[in-house]
Amino acid sequence: MATARLLLPVTLLLTSLSRAWCTTFTLTNSCAYTVWPGLLSSAGSPPLATTGFALAPGESRAVDAPAAWSGRIWGRTLCGADAASGRFACATGDCGSGTVECGGGGAAPPTTLAEFTLNGAGGNDFYDVSLVDGSNLPMVVGPQGGAGGATGCLVDLNGPCPAELKVAGAEGAGIACKSACEAFGRPEDCCSGAFSSPATCQPSAYSQFFKNACPRAYSYAYDDATSTFTCTSGSVSYLVIFCPSISSLKSSVGGSTNPSTSGLPLINDTVSFLNRGGGSNGNGGYYDASSSASLTASGPLLSHAGAAVLAWLCTARGRHWLPW
């Protein structure tokens, strides 16, 4: 009994320290299909316990990152192992590792990216969702426990993607939407060469396609003013949700600490988008952004309870569970 009483305050202390020294990302798959998240640490950032895994529909997994981590998280789709060679590959978001774990490989565009810098300038976390490299599935990042706002793209752009940007799958349906830079390679679309500054690289009709659909997401390289979000470091954990539902997120999009995005909607209520999931929304497969219907099969937004032991929290492989 005495030992138990001694361990309790030690456990509470370690839990408190772990929250200050680690940040938890909870990845949730609300798509109607399996998603294989990929995770990449930036140069100089320590590697995470996992760099890739499978998430079945409705499934969640928590991954912990050290305090000063920076990197990217994305979703891979239409993945599988080659029957002859056993090499693992994905139709979108592939990281080129040949295995489920990306092992330091980045996402092949077009891919929707969540980008993070923890414990950055001014003691803040910086985060965004980027469509600069195109889009392959809806994704939203939302902080838990702080004052930051949700950001990302709630709509599936693969259907309404302009024909010259569309990536088609084996059956001819759109599975991703390229950026103009990838599609055409022009300096003005890539913000390169003579167009490598905010003054010379301006939004194009193609980047506006992404921006009009997803006002808070990055649509081109210098879209910082309306697309970078902040939270006080150590005060929050983050949800990364693939195919989020409108109804579960509409109430949590406010509270941004980026003044330029105050009042900026997470979705554009004046635009309609093709529903890739083909759900029964009463309008022939199109989703009206002003409705409260879900784009795809939705799941609850899962919160994550801190673990007791700091060393395990920061170094153990990501925990894994099914939602209750």
For 105-156, the pLDDT digits (tens) are 999 999 999 999 999 999 999 999 999 999 999 999 999 877 778 999 999 9
DSSP state of 113: E
Mean pLDDT of the chain: 78
Position 234 scores a pLDDT of 84
Q: Between 192 and 20, where is the model more confident?
A: 192
Backbone angles phi, psi at 144, to 5 degrees: -120, 125
Tens digits of per-residue pLDDT, 53-107?
999 999 999 999 998 899 999 999 999 999 999 999 999 999 999 999 999 999 9
Position 20 scores a pLDDT of 52
DSSP state of 30: -
Confidence of residue 171 (pLDDT cuts 50, 70, 90): confident
Q: How far is CA 77 from CA 13, 103, 280, in A?
A: 40, 18, 23
CA angle 154, 160, 165 (to 5 degrees): 105
Give CA–CA dist 221/137, Å, rounded. Answer: 20
Position 263 scores a pLDDT of 56
128 contacts 237 by C-beta, under 8 angstroms: no
Half-sphere exposure of 199 (CA within 13 A, CB side): 1
In 119-141, which positions are buried (b, 16+ CB within 10 angstroms) versus exposed (e)? Answer: beeeebbbbbbbbbbbbbbbbbb
Considering the chain, what percentage of its residues have pLDDT values greater than 90? 62
DSSP state of 222: T
**Under DSSP, is residue 18 helix (H, G, I), strand (E, B) or coil?**
helix
22 contacts 65 by C-beta, under 8 angstroms: yes
Give CA–CA dist 16/313, Å, rounded. Answer: 12
Structure tokens at 173: 């349906």
Q: What is the pTM of this model?
A: 0.77
Q: Does position 260 have pLDDT exceeding 70, yes or no?
A: no
Domain residue spans in the chain?
Answer: 2-178+204-317
228 contacts 132 by C-beta, under 8 angstroms: no
Helix (H) or strand (E) holding 126: strand 124-130
**Bridge partners of 218?**
130
Max Cα–Cα distance, the chain, nearest Å: 72
**Strand-strand pairing, 319-321 and 113-117:** unpaired
Confidence of residue 247 (pLDDT cuts 50, 70, 90): low
Superfamily of domain 2-178+204-317: Thaumatin (2.60.110.10)
Tens digits of per-residue pLDDT, 200-221?
999 999 999 999 999 999 999 9
**Under DSSP, is residue 141 helix (H, G, I), strand (E, B) or coil?**
strand
Strands (E), 172-299: 174-177, 229-232, 237-242, 272-274, 286-288
